[in-house]
């Protein structure tokens, strides 16, 4: 196991080390650097499970394999201020660094004094226990709460499914267009589908209180996990294994001739089946279809504080949103997304859920995206 991945080579580690040095130098050369407390790498690279992208390279007439970083670089900048000027500076650096590194670089500002009060979310759990400090105070995230490993809120699984389902919706919209897919489209969509399959296994483990940071451990645990009631559960376990194999070694060469349309249809069917299975158990309800699940809104769990939810709803929907003002707007997204992914969804139902006046599929998708960016 390497520094940044399970199966990456020393050359792969050296490449990322150089990128991290470059990013840290740029961030700390900023005129606002006196406010930075630490620069922290998150995600797969931060946990030591990043994905090396396998590519061919010709050197001296000989073909060989090289490994390049594949995932985005997700970093947080712990700061003593969230002044708008600092945020603008980090946005500017994101753009510059993404161009110079050749991968998307995301820099999220986090207020240091707010760390002890960070909500118990899956994102914060993984940040707390799976990170690498690139520069600054190496113990800074110890200030975050000691989140219990076996008590991650189950709504965090639904939130993960929401965000992975949005990627599937991206694919559906693109496949509905007449233009042929580009090579970049194909690679991106294969990555999105693997992410969905990873989410199904992760959520199953979360539901049973067996979630772990490491995919090496999760791969071992999933076949032992109770998946009763999930049709063809073995297919989900197999898809999870394939997705982890790809995550550990992102080699697209065996997938170059894959039929993206068929793969998407299979993945979307798995999404619909798993989403319903998960939500039945999370909410302890017996709704048998996604339509009946959607009709259950706003009774899809309790998220956020009532007062903040009222403010969110008023700002998002105006006075008309106050009818369900005590419910977090995210619950609308939970109900609407599976319907957007299905082939024969009732658009009137989706309009009602999104509090929208739009009628066309594409317009409804844009309404969904706007809310998802705010409340995912």
Question: Both 33 and 138 in a single domain?
Answer: yes
- Please identify, among 256, 284, 312, the residue that sits at the C-terminal boundary of a domain: 284
Q: Would you state the structure tokens that stand for residue 289, as one six-digit string?
A: 């279809």
Res 256: pLDDT: 83
pLDDT at 59: 59
The residue with tokens 């499970």 is 49
- On whether residue 3 sits in a domain, the answer given is no
Tell me 180's DSSP state. Answer: P
- Shared domain for 278 and 298, answered yes or no, is no
**Residue appearing with tokens 């409340």:** 375
Report helix, strand or coil for 213.
coil
Task: Rounding to the nearest 10 degrees, give the CA dihedral for residues 190, 194, 195, 201.
Answer: 170
Alpha-carbon distances, residue 269 vs 13, 193, 219, 338 (angstroms): 37, 12, 22, 10
Report d(CA 284, CA 21) in Å as an integer: 49
**In terms of domains, do 366 and 295 share one?**
yes
Planar angle of CA 201, 202, 203, nearest 5 degrees: 90
Burial track 123-142 (b if 16+ CB lie within 10 A, e otherwise) = ebbbbbebbbbbbbeeebbe
Residue 1 gets which letter from DSSP?
-
Does 112 lie in the same domain as 20?
Answer: yes
Q: Report how far residue 177's alpha carbon sits from residue 190's, in angstroms, rounded to the nearest whole number.
A: 18
Same domain, 168 and 115: no
Residue 75, preceding bond cis, omega within 30 degrees? no
Query: What is the dihedral sign for C-alpha 215, 217, 223, 224?
Result: negative
Asked whether residue 41 falls in the same domain as residue 83, the answer is yes
d(CA 238, CA 241): 5
Is 209 domain-assigned? yes
Residue 31 is encoded by which pair of tokens?
């005129």
Residue 182 DSSP code: P
Residues 53 and 69 in one domain: yes
User: Is there a domain that residue 2 lies in?
Assistant: no
pLDDT along the chain (376 residues), means of 10: 90 96 97 96 94 78 79 95 96 97 96 96 94 96 94 96 97 95 93 97 96 95 96 96 94 89 96 97 94 94 93 93 94 96 85 89 94 93
Residue 17, domain member (yes or no): yes
Residues 254 and 131 reside in one and the same domain: no
Write out the H or E segment, with its range, that includes residue 349.
helix 347-354
Tokens 């699940």 belong to residue: 293
Structural domain contains residue 152: no
Q: Is 122 contained in some domain?
A: yes
In a domain, 149, yes or no: no
> Is pTM, for the whole model, over 0.85?
yes
Token pair recorded at residue 33: 């650097």
Q: What is the pLDDT of residue 55?
A: 84
Q: Where are the beta strands (DSSP E) in 130-208?
A: 132-136
**Residues 293 and 277 occupy one common structural domain:** no
> DSSP letters along 271-317, please?
HHHHHHHHHHHHHT----SHHHHHHTTT-S---S-HHHHHHHHHHHH
Q: Which of 118, 143, 168 is the last residue of a domain?
A: 143
Contact 364, 352 (CB under 8 A): no
Q: Got the DSSP string for 42-85?
A: -HHHHHT-B-EEEEEEEETTEEEEEEEE-S-EEEEEEES---HH
Is residue 344 domain-shared with residue 279, that is, in the same domain? no
Tokens 């559906």: give the residue. Answer: 172
Residue 54: CATH number of its domain = 3.30.70.1350
Residue range of the domain that includes 235:
160-284
What are the distances in angstroms from CA 243 to CA 101, 191, 212, 329, 350?
Answer: 26, 9, 16, 31, 31
Relative orientation angle of helices 155-175 and 330-341, to the nearest 10 degrees: 40
**Within-domain flag for 5:** no
Q: Are both 361 and 277 inside the same structural domain?
A: no
Structural domain total, the chain: 3
CA 329 to CA 252: how far, in whole Å?
Answer: 38
Q: What is the DSSP letter of 251?
A: -
Looking at 266, 284, 302, which one is the last position of a domain? 284
Residue 14 and residue 139 in one domain? yes
């Amino acid at each position: 196991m390497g520094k940044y991945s399970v199966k990456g080579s020393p050359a792969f580690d050296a490449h990322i080390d150089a990128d991290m040095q470059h990013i840290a130098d740029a961030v700390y050369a900023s005129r606002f650097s006196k406010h930075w407390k630490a620069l922290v790498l998150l995600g797969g690279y931060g946990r030591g499970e990043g994905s090396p992208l396998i590519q061919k390279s010709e050197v001296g007439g000989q073909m060989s394999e090289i490994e390049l970083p594949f995932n985005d670089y997700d970093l947080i900048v712990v700061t003593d201020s969230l002044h708008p000027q600092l945020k603008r500076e980090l946005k500017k650096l994101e753009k510059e660094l993404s161009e110079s590194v050749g991968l998307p670089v995301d820099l999220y500002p986090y207020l240091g004094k707010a760390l002890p009060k960070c909500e118990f979310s899956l994102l914060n759990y993984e940040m707390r226990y799976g990170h690498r400090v690139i520069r600054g105070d190496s113990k800074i995230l110890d200030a975050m709460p000691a989140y219990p490993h076996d008590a991650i809120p189950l709504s965090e699984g639904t939130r993960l499914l929401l965000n992975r389902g949005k990627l599937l919706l991206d694919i559906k919209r693109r496949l509905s267009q007449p233009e042929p897919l580009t090579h970049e489209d194909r690679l991106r969509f294969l990555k999105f589908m693997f992410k969905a399959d990873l989410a199904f296994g992760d959520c199953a483990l979360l539901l049973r209180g067996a979630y772990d940071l490491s995919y090496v451990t999760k791969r071992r645990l999933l076949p032992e996990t109770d998946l009763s009631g999930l049709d063809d559960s073995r297919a989900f376990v197999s898809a999870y294994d394939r997705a982890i194999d790809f995550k550990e070694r992102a080699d697209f060469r065996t997938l170059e001739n894959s039929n993206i349309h068929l793969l998407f249809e299979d993945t979307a069917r798995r999404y619909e089946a798993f989403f319903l299975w998960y939500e039945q158990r999370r909410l302890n309800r017996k709704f048998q279809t996604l339509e009946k699940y959607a009709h259950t809104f706003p009774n899809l769990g309790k998220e956020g504080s009532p007062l903040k939810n009222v403010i969110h709803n008023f700002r998002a929907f105006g006075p008309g949103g106050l009818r369900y003002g005590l419910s977090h707007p995210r619950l609308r997204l939970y109900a609407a997304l599976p319907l957007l992914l299905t082939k024969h969804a009732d658009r009137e139902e989706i309009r009602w859920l999104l509090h929208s006046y739009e009628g066309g599929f594409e317009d409804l998708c844009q309404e969904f995206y706007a809310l998802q960016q705010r409340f995912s």
